[in-house]
Structure 1
Amino acid sequence: MFLEQFIAYIKYEKRYSPHTVAAYESDLAQFYTFLNHPEVVIGHPSEITHHHIRNWMVELMNQKLTSRSINRKVATLRKYFKFLLQGNHIASTPTARIQTPKIAKHLPVVVEEEKLSRMLDNNEIFTTDFKGRRDKMIVELLFGTGMRLSELLGITEADINTYEGTVKVLGKRNKQRIIPLNKELKLLLQEYLLLKKSEIFANKSLKLIVTDKGADAYAKMIYLIVQKYLNYISTQDKKSPHVLRHTFATSLLNKGADLNAIKDLLGHASLSATQVYTHNSVERLKSIYKQAHPKAN
């Protein structure tokens, strides 16, 4: 009962994205599966203690989950128990005494901009049929706008303004923003929309990105498409839509773009989230210095 109330709260009152709601549901389902086994059955949330949460965290560590993943799951519990506390369903929250593992700081993973640009310009890689134009548009949109995967999946045809050269996206916490499109991307979108209109699909989705059969695209599909094409230019392990977002931001920063402008384009709530890209630029400068300066070594 409480789980259903909480999910309804974040879905309809907080208006979290479907992707975020699904993540919360999954985390809470995993937690209750861990709690309830033949020997012990937890009935009311007030029976849950910080010991239960700590034991779950140990189990997650044994499953080799990263600190970042564990922290995200604990954040879900914090939100859930805060909701129960505010509704007077529990007297105190068991997460108050929980310390989350420290996250090792890693620089954002990017791909080489020149290699990516050459790959996107290679007519032998992307076919000219609907599927090929769609795949190219996905990679171009992620790299050319820096939008998130969830934002890409949420775009409808009506959100594209080819006359103004902009795309409207719905970001975290349902915040809308307008992102400009470069000339090449605008032309590609126009071409794609014409192809999509001419395709004979069983069901015509109004979402911009659709499957080969015309249904709404889904996260796994986008991941596989991005991985497929990044395999042409990169041997690094991480080849995800977020890598293209990182590449977009790093590219702008390297070319002198204002940090606040990058923040607005990415849809970050605060500048601190954007500043992580300055570290990539510093590392790039160090690399250039070592290669070019006679006293570097």
Structure 2
Amino acid sequence: MSANPTLDSDAARSREWLQAFVRHLDTERRLAGHTVAAYRRDVDALLANLGGQRLDHIGIHDIRRAVSVLHAKGLSGRSLARMLSAWRGFFDYLARECGLSQNPCQGVRAPRGPKKLPNALSADEASRLVELDGDDMLAARDRALLELLYSSGLRLSELAGLDWSMLNWTEGTVRVLGKGSKTRVVPVGRQALARLREWRRQSDALFGDADEPAVFLSRQGRRLSARGIQLRVRRAGAVQGIAGRVHPHVLRHSFASHLLQSSGDLRAVQEMLGHASIATTQVYTHLDFQHLAKVYDAAHPRARKKT
């Protein structure tokens, strides 16, 4: 491509390389117009940030500094990750076309955005959810699975894979197979045990001859799938008037945050959730702080209450 500038040419001509890159994206890779425009904007932002520096003199420290400057200006981690992807593509193109020795973007990562706090029901909402009305088979099953999700904080996959042999009625515990095929034993609440006994009686009467070890069965007497559980939990939330979409993980989050609010024992919550690292569990301390902040604002005479 003799029409292109060389890397050791005047730094101001680096934008000519950007034009060549854009032509490549448009005519050779045939990317959509809006995608090409996004690449152009992102690489243009880098060149502007580098202040005309020669392309063959750009190092990893320059890229990191550019990311830091743009992040300080308010760009999110997601936006910076997209920009880094465009920059890598640009320098890969330079390596192919004129032998750039290395891509200075390799090994540079965008800063992580703030971790989104998990959604959790209030204690009143959780109690209302598990008190699902109905006296048919499906209602008994759904009450049992809702109680167990909230009582023991099981993952969806753990609940779907649960067999009757994994329940210890005497000790009031359940043994579950978690992530990484690790087993743990989790307490089961009194109400959840009662709901499970009720469901066992109904399922035995309906499917007593079926050779199915699963705790939760479909209407056809087969193990209820993870998708089926999700749909039943969502339906229960709608029927009980719970705002927002309710799914099994919301009940797991509710279990963790309510237990932490009551006990303050982060290590115990970690063990019951089956988290390999306590850092994963620490997100619930933020939920607990939100709860404490609300209590403070409502009760303390010097709180930030509206007048």
Task: With the length of structure 2 as denominator, give the TM-score of the two structures.
Answer: 0.61
The offset of 1:201, in angstroms, is: 7.8
DSSP 3-state at the match of 2:263 = coil
What is the distance in 2 between the residues matched to 1:129 and 1:257? 39
The offset of 1:223, in angstroms, is: 0.9
Q: Which of 277, 280, 295 is 2:287 aligned to?
A: 280
What is the distance in 1 between the residues matched to 2:120 and 2:165? 31
Q: Which of 287, 292, 297 is 2:299 aligned to?
A: 292
DSSP 3-state at the match of 1:164 = coil
Aligned residues: 207
The offset of 1:103, in angstroms, is: 4.5
| 2:114 paired with 1:107 | no
Q: Map of 1:30-109 to 2, 5 A cutoff? A: 99=109, 102-109=112-119
Structure 1 segments (4+ residues) deviating >6 Å: none
| 2:174 paired with 1:167 | yes
Identify the residue that residue 253 of structure 2 maps to in structure 1: 246
| 2:270 paired with 1:263 | yes
Give the stretch that moved more between structures: 195-204 or 156-165: 195-204
Identify the residue that residue 235 of structure 1 maps to in structure 2: 243
Q: Map of 1:173-192 to 2, 5 A cutoff? A: 173-192=180-199
Tell me if structure 2 keeps the 8 A contact 1:146–1:265: yes
DSSP 3-state at the match of 1:199 = helix
What is the distance in 1 between the residues matched to 2:122 and 2:260? 14
Tell me if structure 1 keeps the 8 A contact 2:266–2:282: yes
Task: Percent identity, please.
Answer: 34
Bigger RCO of structures 1 and 2 (CA < 8 A, at least 6 apart): 1
Paired residue type of 2:192 = L
Q: Please report the RMSD computed on the Cα atoms of aligned residues, expressed in angstroms.
A: 2.9
What is the distance in 1 between the residues matched to 2:280 and 2:161? 23
Unmatched 5+ residue regions in structure 1? 1-38, 41-54, 59-66, 71-95
CA displacement 1:82-125 (0-9 Å, x = unmatched): xxxxxxxxxxxxxx75847845421110011112213433xxx4
Q: Map of 1:195-234 to 2, 5 A cutoff? A: 195-200=202-207, 204-231=211-238, 232-234=240-242
Tell me if structure 1 keeps the 8 A contact 2:126–2:254: no
Paired residue type of 1:249 = A
Q: Which of 143, 146, 163 is 2:150 aligned to?
A: 143
CA displacement 1:124-183 (0-9 Å, x = unmatched): x43222211101111111100001000001111111111221111000111111111111
CA displacement 1:41-68 (0-9 Å, x = unmatched): xxxxxxxxxxxxxx9xx9xxxxxxxx7x
What is the distance in 2 between the residues matched to 1:185 and 1:101? 43
CA displacement 1:3-48 (0-9 Å, x = unmatched): xxxxxxxxxxxxxxxxxxxxxxxxxxxxxxxxxxxx99xxxxxxxx
Unmatched 5+ residue regions in structure 2? 1-27, 30-34, 39-77, 82-105
Identify the residue that residue 120 of structure 1 maps to in structure 2: 130
* Bigger radius of gyration among the two: 2
Change (3 A) 1:127 1:103: same
